[in-house]
């Protein structure tokens, strides 16, 4: 396996292998493929510099960073719909990064709670139960659901489109009913999110950018 210039997956296989056999082999080794994509695409990306005008992701769109001198001790971050503005007395990379990550976390708390309520309202097995939600910055997983019914989501998902975020939430909600990834699980997921395959493909393609 290797990547093309745009980060797409290129599979090198024996000539006698059919396309169907290649697809089946990839499907059987999906975890390995996903790990390869995350690692290989991560090598292709340039690290963020947190400088004026640099583009940063929020809910699937890229917005320029505007850095203004601040008068208070604490940095503040605001979003106008067309730019992310940081007011800070310190303009070094660490200070701007810390301010931005704090803003991402606050936005994630707001957005994730709303989306969890929305998606769970369409999951009839959830009923009226209250679902505990925890947020973590994670490098290896986008979400998980514990045996006690606690859903944990990666705060980096606040950079993804809402459709992708909803897809991850739907996946974890299905684990409230089916803890494994058997046929019953995917039948449930298909009911809750018929487009889960497309959403997963988009996350695999763009996910490494959300982790920056």
Whole-number pLDDT of residue 16:
86
Looking at residue 170, its pLDDT comes to 98
Q: Domain for residue 24, yes or no?
A: yes
Condensed to tens digits (0 to 9), the pLDDT of residues 116-141 reads: 999 999 999 999 889 999 999 998 89
**What per-residue confidence (pLDDT) applies to 146?**
95
Task: Please tell me whether residues 89 and 29 are part of one structural domain.
Answer: no
Q: Are strands 133-136 and 151-154 parallel, antiparallel or unpaired?
A: parallel
Q: Whole-angstrom Cα distance, residue 189 to residue 178?
A: 10
Q: Say if residue 205 is in the same domain as residue 116.
A: yes
Positions of the chain with pLDDT under 50: none
Query: Does residue 196 sit in the same domain as residue 144?
Result: yes
**In terms of domains, do 28 and 79 share one?**
no
Residue 200 lies inside a defined structural domain of this protein: yes
pLDDT of residue 118: 97
Task: Identify the domain containing residue 16 by its residue range.
Answer: 2-44
In a domain, 49, yes or no: no
Whether residue 95 sits in one domain with residue 66: yes
What tokens does 183 get? 């046929």
- The pTM for the full model equals 0.81
On whether both 40 and 61 belong to a single domain, the answer is no
Q: Within this chain, do residues 61 and 150 fall inside the same structural domain, yes or no?
A: yes
Tally of domains within the chain: 2
Do 200 and 132 share a domain, yes or no?
A: yes
- In a domain? residue 103: yes
Q: Are residues 67 and 147 in the same domain?
A: yes
Q: β-strands 143-145, 151-154: how paired?
A: antiparallel
Q: Is residue 160 part of a domain?
A: yes
Q: What confidence score (pLDDT) does residue 156 get?
A: 97
Residue 43: per-residue pLDDT:
64
**CATH number of residue 142's parent domain:** 3.30.2010.10
- Tell me: do 89 and 194 sit in the same domain: yes
32 and 89 assigned to the same domain? no
Q: What is the pLDDT of residue 41?
A: 64
Q: How far apart are CA 178 and CA 38, in angstroms?
A: 27
DSSP states of 113-155 as a string? HHHHHHHHTT-TTTTT----EEEE--SS-SEEE-TTS-EEEEG
């Amino acid at each position: 396996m290797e990547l093309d210039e745009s980060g797409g997956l290129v599979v090198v296989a024996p000539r006698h292998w059919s396309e169907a056999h290649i697809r089946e082999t990839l499907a059987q080794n999906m975890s390995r493929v996903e790990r390869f994509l995350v690692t290989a695409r991560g090598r292709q990306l340039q690290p963020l510099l947190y400088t004026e005008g640099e583009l940063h992701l929020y809910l699937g769109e890229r917005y320029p960073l505007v850095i203004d001198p601040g008068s208070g001790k604490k940095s503040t971050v605001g979003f106008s719909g067309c730019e992310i503005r940081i007011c800070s007395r310190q303009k070094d990379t660490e200070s701007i990064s810390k301010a931005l990550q704090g803003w991402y976390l606050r936005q994630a708390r707001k957005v994730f709670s709303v989306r969890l309520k929305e998606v769970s309202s369409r999951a009839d097995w959830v009923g009226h139960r209250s679902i505990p939600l925890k947020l973590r910055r994670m490098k290896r997983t986008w979400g998980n659901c514990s045996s006690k019914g606690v859903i944990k989501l990666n705060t980096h998902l606040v950079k993804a489109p809402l459709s992708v975020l909803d897809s991850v939430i739907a996946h974890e909600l299905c684990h409230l009913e089916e803890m494994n990834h058997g046929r019953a699980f995917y039948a449930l997921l298909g009911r809750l999110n018929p487009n889960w395959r497309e959403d997963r493909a988009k996350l695999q393609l763009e996910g490494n950018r959300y982790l920056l």
